[in-house]
Chains A and B, each alone.
Chain A
Amino acid sequence: MEKMGVLEGRKELVVALAGNPNSGKTSLFNELTGSRQHVGNWPGVTVEKKEGRLKFQGIDFKVVDLPGTYSLGAYTEDEMIARNFIIYDKPDVVINVVDATNLERNLYLTMQLLEMNANLVIALNMSDEAKAKGIEIDKDKLSQILKVPVVMTVATKGEGVKELLENVLKAVEFKGERYRIDYGKELEEGISELESLIKEDEELSKKFFPRWLAIKFIENDENIMKEFSSKTALMEKVKLIQKKLEGIFGEDAEVVVADKRYGVISGIVKECVKKRSTPEERYTLSDRIDRIVTNKYLGIPIFLVAMWAVFEFTFALGNPLSDWIEMFFDWLGEVTASWLESIAAPDILISFIRDGIIAGVGSVLVFIPPIFLLFFAISVLEDSGYMARAAYVMDRFMTALGLHGKSFIPMLIGFGCNVPGIMATRTLENTEDRLVTILVNPLMSCAARLPVYVLFAGAFFAENQGLVVFSIYLLGIVLAVIMAKIFKKFLFKGKTAPFVMELPPYRVPTLKGLLIHMWERGSLFVRKAGTIILGVVVLVWILSSLPAGVEYASAESYIGRLGSAVAPILKPAGFGTWEAASALIFGILAKETVVGTLGVVYGAEGDALFEAIRQHFTPLSAYAFMVMTLIYIPCVATIAAIRRETNSWKWTFFAIGYTLILGWLMAVIIYQGGKLLGFN
């Protein structure tokens, strides 16, 4: 029962996972917490926060997966999050996941964690791969030097996890000294001078580990310098020391500090790592695969095939499933309605349940199969290491837009559905690039808009149907390119981040990892977007059914009146009728409902609907209507995704506003321009 002492008066132990990207941190997190995970956002930012729980030896653990970072400076959102969590939330233990095959680079983060006085346990992960590569790490020696427990793990196979947790429990009560880098006489003098000043300041010494703060001052850390700019005496001292060090070393103190860290690390690696002398192999297996996959000529065809495979997998498998779900809800609506009729329920209640609730829930659930399958496919691309190569291959094209290759993937996914497309922007590190990519994503014509094109192109351009539909898709791409350039130029001036991207070695993904990724992303969509969609569905039902006694979705209903009110605005675009306006309003709910609504308001289906459309539209106004459907206001699911991913109502409304204006403008230009050119 001695273990209970650790937790006296405490509900749980808080353990943070810190490590480089691609160090296997996520695998370890999955292995530790299994399905008991919760994904949310870090307060105020778009980076996702993953927490999980586990019980070990009767003790509850809360595990927080910090963003994967190479460093703990203040240069990216991820780094700030990881760093602030360690400073302000003071986790009981920090598990530093270290990629055993890249010890040297990974120890750079370790050194910074030690400097922060984090209570560290090192998980030397992927130790099997290291062994296979002939890298032998003396973990006891490493542990002895760093004065930190070191455990060998293979997270993907669950090896070493138990031992790791035992060491975490032991570390909780650790009070001793950890390893400390000796920065050499000159730097150490400056550090200790600042350290003693910091210790005198109660506010500072309470919040921060004095030595860490002193080093950050010397490194000229942007955030720290800004935060304490009011402490003039201290800042003057800092400036003085920085100047003095620059005089001695002839360059910025921060470079000297980084060089020193790598120097020390290289010494430690020499002591602890033995690389079996194999005949020198310049190129690894991954290099040889890359020679084909990133090849000048083959790279793009391979990329296109991979994308085609993702789409086939998602929609060939997902659409039948969606159809079944739709059929099931139609059936459920009818069965429920006739049962309600049999017990003489009021018509309004029947309609509310059938057209409102059941149809609403159904409209959310039909999204599930393609979204889950798409996320599964994306996880395969990511976990195998191909995603980074896709970004590499597309970089040439995206550079022309002022974006990086990584932005291409979300755009492509947008052709299937904008919601996962927008969610896929998470792989972009740079906030500005991410925002631009999110904002233009709705211009990628998703699958839900296709039925509208098919209907209108079928009614007016039967002979050139394929070409007409293709022109709409192309227009979307062209507009996305133009808008991306405009946004980049005027909203996010000169913020292109330098392009460096790690290309992780190719790996065979684990099914467990894939399923967890699919589940956490997919269920997030269902929860967050689902509630919004349902709310709007109910709202639309109310608007269609009131005032009491009107025919559902007729001109006299509120939705019809709303359509009549909006119609005049649409007149310059050639389709200023209340029917077209209501169809567009309903279309915000989900783009495919444009067709359904037209069917309802014209009271026609199938061939009769084609006939009705021919009566109410001209070829020119039909084309303008298709363009409007492409561009105007994203559907609610997409709006919800934009809101979630940007974490900002401002950008959400911006996206709604600019697409509405752009859509109207384009429709008007096409209609009026077409008329001038003599089209009808």
Chain B
Amino acid sequence: MLKKGGIVLPISMLPPGKKAVVVDIIGGEGIRRRLIDMGIVRGVEILVVKNDVGPLIVGVGEMRFALGFGMAQKILVEEL
């Protein structure tokens, strides 16, 4: 909504290979807390490495995380 392609959507909807910036994390404190500890916070760039069956694999910098689908739906991002 801000610029071309800048639609805000859950990261669970992005195909592999896409990069996006975290805009917001919705959901309870427990979920947010876990993500904060892992370094998944607002403004961070996330790379979708895998997204077909099972949990997603995402990358933050050099780190790789498996992310349950439910959790991935709560991370709102803006595609880059």
Contacts and interface: CB of A to CB of B under 8 A. Distances in A.
B80 to A, nearest CB: 12
Interface in A260-301: 262, 282-284, 286-287, 290-291, 294, 296
A133 B62 CA distance: 10
B70 interface: yes
Interface string B32-46: 111111110111100
A500 B68 contact: yes
A502 B38 contact: yes
B37 A71 contact: yes
Interface in B24-57: 29-39, 41-44, 47, 49-50, 52-55, 57
Interface in A89-141: 101-102, 104-105, 108, 133
B13 to A, nearest CB: 18
Most buried by B among A102, A104, A105, A259: A105
B62 to A, nearest CB: 5
A502 B65 contact: yes
Contact of B66 (A286, A287, A500): A500
Interface in B60-75: 60-68, 70-71
A628 B42 CA distance: 56
A35 to B, nearest CB: 32
B6 interface: no
A259 B41 contact: yes
A505 interface: yes
A498 B68 contact: yes
Contact of B39 (A105, A287, A290, A296): A105
Interface stretch (A390-398, A420-428, A557-565): A390-398
B64 A392 contact: no
A71 B30 CA distance: 13
A393 B63 contact: no
Contact of B54 (A75, A284, A392): A392
B17 interface: yes
A630 B31 CA distance: 40
Contact of B64 (A262, A391, A396, A505): A505
A282 B58 CA distance: 12
A499 interface: yes
Contacts of B35: 500
Contacts of B36: 71, 255, 258
A503 interface: yes
Contacts of A102: 61-63
A75 B67 CA distance: 19
A556 to B, nearest CB: 61
B53 A70 contact: no
A502 B67 CA distance: 9
Interface of B: 17, 29-39, 41-44, 47, 49-50, 52-55, 57, 59-68, 70-71
CB-CB nearest 3 A-B residue pairs: A499-B68, A105-B39, A70-B37
Given A71-B36, A395-B68, A500-B66, 18 more contacts: A73-B37, A75-B30, A75-B37, A105-B61, A252-B29, A254-B29, A254-B33, A259-B41, A262-B39, A262-B43, A262-B44, A286-B64, A287-B59, A296-B53, A393-B54, A395-B55, A499-B67, A500-B68
